[in-house]
Each structure stands twice: as structure tokens, then as C-alpha cells.
Amino acid sequence: MTDALVIGAGPAGLMAAEALAAAGRRVVIAEAKPSPARKLLMAGKSGLNITHDDPAEGFASHYSAAWLAPILAGFGPAEVQDWCRGLGQDVFTGSSGRVFPQAMKASPLLRAWLRRLEASGAVLHTRWRWTGWQDGALGFDTPGGPRLERPAVTVLALGGASWPRLGSDAAWVPWLEGQGVPVAPFRPANMGFRVDWSDKMPPLFGTPVKDVALLAGDQRERGEFVISARGIEGGGVYAVSAAMRDGAALTLDLAPTRSLAEVAGRLARPRGKDTVANWLRKSVRLDPVKIALLQEWARPLPSDPARLARVIKALPVRHTGPRPIAEAISTAGGIPRAALTDGLELQALPGVFACGEMLDWEAPTGGYLLTACLATGLHAGRAAAAKG
């Protein structure tokens, strides 16, 4: 009989496997894809943001689930950085507080991690797709045919519902629900929003909109985003995407360093023979992409300086809703805290633990997502290792 089985070889699953192996358990990792950690590798293509160098007392405030706080306290930003160094990957902190490996990419970190897991005795099987429970056993489709496993302990690390082509397809939801485990419906998180652009906007697709403030509900975030053929996306939009998804309107402050009175005063100066675009560029220092957005969403522009200033400071964004969940960076929803013990064991399935994005929590980008996956994987793995 298999001793300890981990299903899913993403960051949460690999961390759970490492914790189990460190406790002396014989670990088998089952991964449905041909290779492990595909979402991690994709996320690291533009630089692997491994964590965020926040003060320990404030780090957990970035998460939707307060119950994660003690888990994050056990494996937060400092511990993540030490863990990276233990794998031979030095890290650095950018000006925004985001922490990256010196190599920037995920592949050197993953290779070192897999070597260490192999040295610990953990066995990784790829192309083992879990198919649910059969007669009390865990069923798998494998290259050698159907297989049943009855492990002493199991850790599920199957991801949420974003990026299904990389493995997080939420196929596990009906199997857990069939075993009496509640699952909150998945919703997109950290996602872009669809916009039906006019025919004047295609030349600007791919252009970043820099130095703006995005306001959604009570939230105000300084940042930037990108105009694309699909709509608006990027860090600034992701930061307010949860509020927008839940119904808050989005407005843009195109001149966040100037007060409303200052903008109105500048617009009140004589325009002369300048075109509207040149006038806005000279008077308020709006760049071409901001002027294009102003004309896209506020045409015809008010002629009164005070009214135009109000539009520049609070430009309503017209969008048609979030991009599909398959395109989201992460998801909200999953297994609720009430269905879990303190050790992340499923109340309805003794001996079965869950971690990572399977759990019902939400966080912004910037290293918070990956840190929580690592922390919950470690927590579940340790709890599973202590199980009989």
C-alpha cells in the first residue's frame, strides 16, 4: 500500500511532498500532465515573483481569508526567501517589494527542487490523471492503464479553475462534492475585463497606460495597465478586479499627482490654436494613450474646464465584464474553511488533506498567490505526515 500520496505537482503539491518526505514518509506524487509545475513555469516566463517583502504583521492582510494568517505566519516572505536560498537560488527585492530569484526564471528553481525531492525518496509519476474514487480507492488513468491506490494519507493539490490547459481545470469538484465535501463556486480573480473598443483604438493595442489611479468602490490603486484587443489587463486592473467583479464601477484618475482644482485651473487657460490633443498634452501633461481613452469614454469632451477636469480625474470605464475564468491568473472559491480541520484535513474524508488554490481564498498578484500555495502545501504536508 502507498504510504503518502500527493495528487498534483504544482507548488502546493511539491511543498506537501517535501514536508512528508522530511518526516520520513514514503511519498508518491501523481501528476496528470507530462511534466510538473506547468503553471509555475508559465508564471515565471516574465520573471518569477516568488513572494512579497511585506512586514510580517501586515502580510496576511492582503488575503480574503483571515484564517490563513497563522499558516502564513509559519511560512511567510522571510521563510520563502530562505527556502529559495536553500535550493541554491539567491533572491532580490525590487523597488515595489516584489521578490524574485536572481535567475528570474522558474526553471532553475524547479530543477533544484525536483532533484532534492528525488534525493529524499519521493517518486514522481507524470501522466497519472486522477479519476475520482472507485470502491473506496483513488482511481487513476496512467500510461500503464487504470490503477487504484489506497494510501495511508493523501494530499490533494489540484489547483483552482484558471489556466485549465496547464492543469487547473477543477475536474475534481464533483468528485469531492460526491463525497460530502462542499465547494464554493469558482470565480475569476486577478483578471482582465472585456471592452468593445471603437475603430479608433486598434493602433494602441499593446500600449501600457502608465501613472494612473484606478478607483473601484472604496479601493484606490496607483499603477498601470495595458490596452489589448480583448480589453484592459495588467497589474493595475488586477489590483481592483475583485471589487469590479463584485459590482463596483471603475473610474480612472488620469492625473493622479494633480488636484482637481489644479487640473481645472490649467484647463481654464486659453487654448489658442492648439488641437484638443495638443491642448490636453500641454495643459495637463496627458500622453497620447490617456487622451485616446478620454476621447473613447467621454466623447464629446465637455467644453467647460471644471466639468472636463472632473472627467479627467474620474473617467468612467465602460467594460462588458471579466474575461473568462480560463484566462484569469487565479480564482476565488473552492473548499471552504468550515470543511477543513486546522491541519487542512477534509472533515468528510479523514486522512485526505487539501492545499493551494483548491481552498477558498483570494489574494492579489505580487507574490501573495505563490506564497500561500507554498505555505498551505507545507502546512497540509506536515499535518498529513503526523497522521497515523
Domain segments of the chain as ranges: 4-188+329-385, 193-316
Strand order in the sheet with 51-52: 51-52, 98-101, 91-93
pLDDT for the residue 205: 98
pLDDT for the residue 211: 95
Q: What angle do CA 374, 77, 330 make, to 5 degrees?
A: 50
Q: How far apart are CA 234 and CA 209, in angstroms?
A: 10
Q: How far apart are CA 178 and CA 59, in angstroms?
A: 36
Q: How far apart are CA 279 and CA 305, in angstroms?
A: 12
Q: How far apart are CA 17 and CA 80, in angstroms?
A: 16
pLDDT for the residue 22: 98
pLDDT for the residue 250: 98
pLDDT less than 50: residues of the chain: none
**Closest Cα partner for 241 from 222, 219, 226?**
219
Architecture of the 4-188+329-385 domain: 3-Layer(bba) Sandwich (3.50)
pLDDT for the residue 382: 98
pLDDT for the residue 172: 97
pLDDT for the residue 55: 80
Q: From the CB of residue 320, how many other CB atoms can be counted at a distance below 10 Å?
A: 9
Residues with Cβ within 8 Å of 134's Cβ and at least 6 positions away in sequence, in order, are: 148
Phi, psi of 266 (to 5 degrees): -65, -40
Q: From the CB of residue 309, how many other CB atoms can be counted at a distance below 10 Å?
A: 24
Residue type (1 letter), 66: A
Kindly state the DSSP code that residue 204 receives in the 8-state scheme.
G
Q: What's the gap between Cα 343 and its chain centre?
A: 23
**Closest Cα partner for 269 from 256, 282, 287?**
282
Residue type (1 letter), 195: V
